[in-house]
Amino acid sequence: MNNELKVSFYLKREGNTERTEPNPDAIFPIIGKIIIGNSIAQFGSKLKIEERLWSVKSGRAIGKSRVAVELNRGCLKIL
């Protein structure tokens, strides 16, 4: 029985999935995902960020700007 707990965050990119014209200034909501064993739950974090400030690999905001630091703190509060 696998009861491993994983929590991750990602951007919810709505609309055009082809991404022919990337817009780095677009603002997207951040969605949280909790995985326990084989069960998955997703939730809205009520946080939004520009795509250019988001790291897909780490699931966090990039940089030390006020916006990035506040957003990363908000994600940690959720945990």
pLDDT of residue 53: 92
Q: Could you state, in order of their start, the residue ranges of all structural domains in the chain?
A: 5-78
pLDDT of residue 69: 95
Amino acid at 18: E
Asked if residue 10 lies in contact with residue 51, where contact means CB atoms within 8 angstroms, the answer is no
What stretches of the chain show up as alpha helix (H) in DSSP? Answer: 66-78
Could you state, in chain order, the average pLDDT of each consecutive group of 10 residues for the chain (79 residues)? 87 68 78 93 93 92 94 91
